Amino acid sequence: MAQRKSRKNTENTKPKITGYIAGSGEIHKEKIVDTLENNYMPYAISVIVSRAIPEIDGFKPSHRKLLYTMYRMGLLGGKYVKSANIVGETMKLNPHGDAAIYETMVRLTRGNESLLHPYIDSKGAFGSAFSSRDTPAASRYTEARLDDICKVVFGDIEKDTVDFVDNYDGTIKEPTLLPVAFPSILVNNNTGIAVGMASSICSFNLSEICETAIALIKDPSHDIHTTLKAPDFPGGGQIIYNRDDIDKIYNTGRGGLRVRAKYSYDKANNCIDITEIPPTTTIEAIIDKTVDMVKAGKVREISDIRDETGINGLKITIDLKRGADPDKLMLKLYRLTPLEDTFSCNFNVLIGGIPKVCSVRELLEEWTAFRIECIKRKVYYDLTKAKEKLHLLKGLAKILLDIDKAVRIVRETDEERDVVPNLMIGFGIDKIQAEYVAEIKLRHLNREYILKRTQEIESLESQIEEWQAILDSKQKVKSIIVKELTEISEKYGKVRKSDIIFASDEEVIIEEKPDYPVHLFLTSQGYFKKITPQSLRMSGEQKLKEGDTIFQHIEANNNIDLLFFTDKSQVYKAKAYDFDDSKASVLGDYIPAKLSMDEGENVIYMAVTSDYSGFMLFFYENGKAAKTELSAYVTKTNRRKLTGAYSDKCGKCVSIHQMFDDNDIMLKSSASRLLLINSGVISPKSKGVQGIQVMTLKKNQSVLWAKILTENMVKNPDYYRTKTLPALGRLAKGEDIGEQISMM
């Protein structure tokens, strides 16, 4: 017992910690915030800067290390080498394991078809970007070399165009960036997920990007849309062009655009052949989703679907049932399957080591600035080498004056260490020049050799002057970039793979739904039922919640449009066929939940229409009335919710009526006054307007309701009619104070 008590006391005295560091068998107190900052933050920064986010040259570190390794191996224009050898060499720069390196390599190859302009020319099975089952062969079976486009990726890299740093063990130097001569950051797609941020860059056509970059260099205010139409994906497909979406991507670097598959109809075999798909999906995902739709009964026109991808490229074949319309079927599949998908853009790029979401214009400007620096460094390198060579040749030229003297000085010098100083004294040259002269072979001490070398002096001086002029003029540097981009576009440019379809030309998908008569019921508490006439005849009493009543009962059909007006000046649109056929014995669908209405929002009226003819009448408690054409609620897209359905500045909306022709309306105020008006005196206005004052009210009075005049509502309707509006109305006569008038 004593031992048990001692243990309990020990537990009670243990310190409560929010975080800890384990070491030397001891536990130390540390705030959890400090732990995260000291341990997790460096890791997060490392992932962002050194792994997942591409830099302005268009490459992540893993890409850059792999390609530079292949460049060092002499694979630019050389023979094919086994991928396993490339992976092994790359591990000298990238110590993350051979599997990760080979996976990176696969994506950069021509065989995988992931990029518009692959950087690696490949031989063997490298899998497919559009199939999750077509995996690449092992690295020992495949071969690769650098593609021809890498000539403009690595151009002049030996001329100090970019900085070099030590690799992870300090044995090899590697470039921090590659001196790409075109905006590869926008030419090849790139995605990455870091810690707390991500990057997703779509690809653009090389010719269009080069043309846009040239135009921006010449005119910084250039309209990008005139030269850069839209992205261009390696797998082709059709881009649904929406100017607002494109503007958002171009201007902010974020947004999405819809891409759909391309197909053709084989009339002889009554089948559809899909040959290009969106970049965000795979063959298997499309087939699996289509099969699910067929099993669910949502697609009935398909008899079979299969993958026929082969040596000729991607191909998904859909066999149709007799009489099926291929175009209508594809429109339906675009909506129900990944055959149409959205590519989300997030142009997050490391600029100077800091992640930044850039617009297209900003990316091209940053790349131009980067390329200007590369060219200046290259020119400065050439200029320095030329000046050094000129300096040596000028020393050599002085020997031309007396070759015999140079030979005599060397021959008569007793010690080797005195040769250079004696040459310096004899010809008036510096140490560097004297060292150069002293190293000339005996066979070259002839006038012909020296004359040939010294003839270079004039051309070198001219070249030095030209290079210096380039360094002194930013405009000349830009001219070099323009020339390079023009040549690259002509040599490597290709025709667009992705077609552009304008959103206005899109066909609207009209899914055929069975049409039949129905009875629609709406209760005062917001419950809705759709019952067929046959079911209604066989039903008993309507089931309702306690205190609930049938508010509206309308005979319509299954394809009718429903407009549910709410007490928050909003209207929610639906189709009758969106609701399942019901029975009188059930409560029905609760509309606020079914249509995802705002919290506390309630339905106060239901309008039905097939052609949006007629108008809506709104009566407010402050005595105002408004008329709005029903066509004002038509939308081009399938929007479910419309705000500002009627005015919210007139107090409570006490009555709503859907009408096709003008009719007499009876209004009742809280002062027991009645007023009869004709809806024709109210002019139609746009939705959301306050309308006109029809009933005059005294302080603390309000309109209780407004009803369409019926035969038995009052004995003498004209008694309550007035020639001018607004009007106070008349007190209800005794014989008119019946059930209908008393209703509130």
- By annotation, the residues acting in catalysis are 141
Please give the Cα distance from 690 to 673 (Å, whole number).
Answer: 23
Q: Are 431 and 494 in contact (CB under 8 A)?
A: no
Distance from C-alpha of 63 to C-alpha of 201, rounded to nearest angstrom: 15
d(CA 667, CA 675): 5
Residue type, 289: K
How far from 176 is each of 54, 73, 158, 164, 515, CA to CA, in Å?
Answer: 12, 18, 13, 6, 67
What is the distance of C-alpha 294 from the center of its chain? Answer: 30
Residues linked to residue 193 through DSSP beta bridges, in sequence order: 198
User: Which helix (H) or strand (E) is 669 found in, with range?
Assistant: strand 664-669
Phi, psi (rounded to 5 degrees) for 354: -120, 125
* Bridge pairing between strands 527-531 and 603-609: unpaired
In 3D space, the residue among 548, 549, 527 whose CA is nearest the CA of residue 603 turns out to be 527
Q: Which residue carries 């029809």 as its tokens?
A: 694
Please state the three-class secondary structure of 209-274 as a single string.
HHHHHHHHHHCCCCCHHHCCCCCCCCCCCEEEECHHHHHHHHHHCEEEEEEECEEEEECCCCEEEE
User: Which is it for strands 499-502 and 238-241: parallel, antiparallel or unpaired?
Assistant: parallel
- List the one residue out of 128, 442, 550 whose CA is nearest residue 311: 128
Which residues share a beta bridge with 657?
A: 617
Which DSSP category does 75 fall into?
Answer: -
d(CA 476, CA 438): 40
**Which candidate, 444, 426, 429, places its Cα nearest to that of 391?**
429
**From CA 37, how far away is CA 33, in angstroms rounded?**
6
β-pair partners for 310 = 313
Closest Cα to residue 283, out of 246, 315, 251, 329?
A: 315
The residue with tokens 């082969």 is 310
Q: HSE (CB half, 13 Å, CA atoms) of 501?
A: 16
For 668, residues 6+ apart whose C-beta sits below 8 A from its C-beta are 674, 675, 703, 704, 705, 706, 732, 741
User: Could you tell me the strand order of the sheet in which 190-193 lies?
Assistant: 190-193, 198-201, 340-346, 254-260, 238-241, 499-502
Instruction: State the Cα torsion 518-519-520-525 to the nearest 10°.
Output: -140
Phi and psi at residue 42, to the nearest 5°: -60, -40
CA distance 463 to 534: 97
Amino acid symbol at 5? K
Q: In 3-state terms, the chain is what percent helix, strand and coil (to 5)?
A: 35, 25, 40
Q: What are phi and psi of 585, to 5 degrees?
A: -85, 0
Bridge partners, 186 (sequence order): none
Beta bridge partners of 521: 529, 553
The amino acid occupying position 587 is L
First-last CA distance in the chain: 78
Instruction: Give CA angle at 609 (604, 614), nearest 5°.
Output: 90
**Which amino acid, residue 144?**
A
